[in-house]
Amino acid sequence: MSYARMVLAACTKDSLPPGFVTPLPPRNEAMITIRHYFENFFVMYPFFEESSFYASIDAVYNSETSRNPTASPFDHFSVRLVLAIAHSGRMEQRGDPNYMAAIGHVSAALVHAEHVLRPGSIASVQAMLLLHEYSMIDPHHFDSWGLIGAASRAMVDLGLHQDPPRSTSISRAKLELRRRVFWCVYGFDRTTSLIQSRAFSFSDDSANVALPFSTAQTLVPPDAKDDSNHILFKSFGPAVDLFNLRRIQSDWYTELFQSGRIPLSDPYPLVWRSCEAMRNWFAGLSPSMSPQVRNFFELNLLYSYIYILAASPRMPFVAPFAQSLIFEYCIQYAEKMTSHANERVKTAPLSFYDAMRVYMTGRQFIEVLQGNEDRLLSGIIPDPPHVPIDSAPPPPAPHTPRDFQKNLARSITCIKRLTDCLGLFGLRWGYMSWRDRFQRDTESLLSSLNQRVWKRQDSTNGPARPIWNYSDSTGPLPESMIPPPGPHQHLQPLITPTYPPEFQQSTEFYQTHYNSVIPQTGHQYPAWHEPTGSGGEQQEQLGMPHTRTY
């Protein structure tokens, strides 16, 4: 079996429809689609050179009319995958024209897999990163964790995880490409492991690679906002910012989730130090960054805060102060994600990982609110846990209103927003059962919250009706019940995960849409992985090593 077949066999879920290939579009149409990729995906993960890619476009389109085609298999593979990723990023729901165009481009790309997916070349790692990037938007056909694992192994085999010695003669361009590829593998591996509660493919201690790009390359040129016809990308600042966040996340994830299961005697010095590092990272973002990219980073920050504050094997008990932070930042996350998910024109990537983050955030909101309703809804913030005097300070206390009725409305609004996001993402990626599951999980909590509303309405002789429940229409809450615009700008948020149920892929999507299976599960402390359903798949355990098969 060839290397390419081995990788694809290990990482393929649903098979692509046989014989379905999207024709190469006219070049002017392709350039519009490719621009979408550069503005939404390349901005965060620039793992190839722009000039080389545009040379690949020239070669591919010249080969359509030339008697002596010069396009290499990698040229065809990379152009087709970029088109597929861009089309998938623009789809509204699974099965729409953009989705089907993406499927056809991937099928066309895989024709060249035998010549591209070969060990021993940086191009092979780049090809696997393109497939991984596509798998983040189309989770039904490829396993993102398997692909980033294969890419990581190939990257380490090439020695890209170590900068060459200073005495080595290497061109600046080649060194820059090595660093780009390493840091993009690193970023993909860290975010995939955090989302899926997996072990990292390689440790931070094993790597020693400087960040790519000069200072000038991370700055936005003065004319960038007015130049709508530029071809090459102009600033790598957001990519470097993202790599720096992944390094901070990697540090605390390793300590809290991958360093055994013996609880720490005092975990909060580590937690506050990590929160401070992320808070300083966010404060250091460029003021010229676009609002959309800044919003993308703030969502990542909120999610990271919730993740680190939640219960974990090394911190099995959550302090009341941390519970208040989780409560407030889940509400902020729901508000911001609702706005981000409904943007028509995006300048930051939106992937299936966001659906997983929403589900996890919703589970954490349920965990923290159940059993703590009175205290959290009162708006009273407990004192932070005591830590040594030389420790980093705790995050600022949230400005939760001391208004029980307002916090009731904010809680119900949060559940509705998370449900709406899961519905929107479910339609887009074919996992409506996640929304349905979340509705079932929050049914008793919503009932309890609405009963409190009724009691308070009765005491004021108001009309006895709930603010919102799942039998209501999908319209917005009454304006009188919606709290004022959410997160206070000067607050630094916090977030933690509860991994959604393992999703089973159906191989009969083309006969029946949206027929994934969501198993019934139970909980320990927030269980990042829940038991799988039928099919005998292995139950993932947080903090336990995983073995890749490829």
Kindly tell me if the per-residue pLDDT of 203 is higher than 90: yes
DSSP, residue by residue, 306-350:
HHHHS-BTTB-S--HHHHHHHHHHHHHHHHHHHHHHT-SS-SS--
Supply 485's token pair: 């615009």
- Is residue 197 within 8 Å of residue 529, measured between CB atoms? yes
Among 96-105, 326-335, 344-353, the minimum mean pLDDT is found in: 344-353
At 535, is the pLDDT very low, low, confident or very high (cuts 50, 70, 90)? very low
Render pLDDT for 281-293 as a digit per residue (tens, 0 to 9).
999 998 888 888 8
Could you tell me what percent of the chain has a pLDDT over 90?
65
Which helix (H) or strand (E) segment holds residue 435: the answer is helix 432-459
- Whose tokens are 């920050």? That residue is 301
Band (pLDDT 50/70/90 cuts) for residue 493 is very low
**Cα–Cα distances in Å, from 29 out to 35, 64, 83, 229, 274?**
10, 16, 10, 14, 45
Banded model confidence at residue 504, pLDDT cuts 50, 70, 90: very low
Q: How confident is the model at residue 484 (pLDDT cuts 50, 70, 90)?
A: very low
Look over the chain and give the mean of its residue pLDDT values, rounded to a whole number. 82
Q: What is the pLDDT of residues 54-69, one digit of tens each?
A: 999 999 999 888 777 8
268 SS3 class: helix
Lowest mean pLDDT among 199-203, 268-272, 474-478, 485-489: 485-489
163 and 208 in contact (C-beta within 8 Å)? yes
| pLDDT at residue 501 tops 60 | no
- 135-152 as b/e: b if 16+ CB within 10 A: bbbbbbbbbbbbbbbbbb
Residue 527 has pLDDT above 80, yes or no: no
**Greater pLDDT, 82 or 236:** 82
pLDDT(252) > 60? yes
Q: Are 243 and 188 in contact (CB under 8 A)?
A: no
Question: What pLDDT is recorded for position 230?
Answer: 45
Is the four-CA dihedral 176, 182, 183, 185 of positive or negative sign?
A: positive
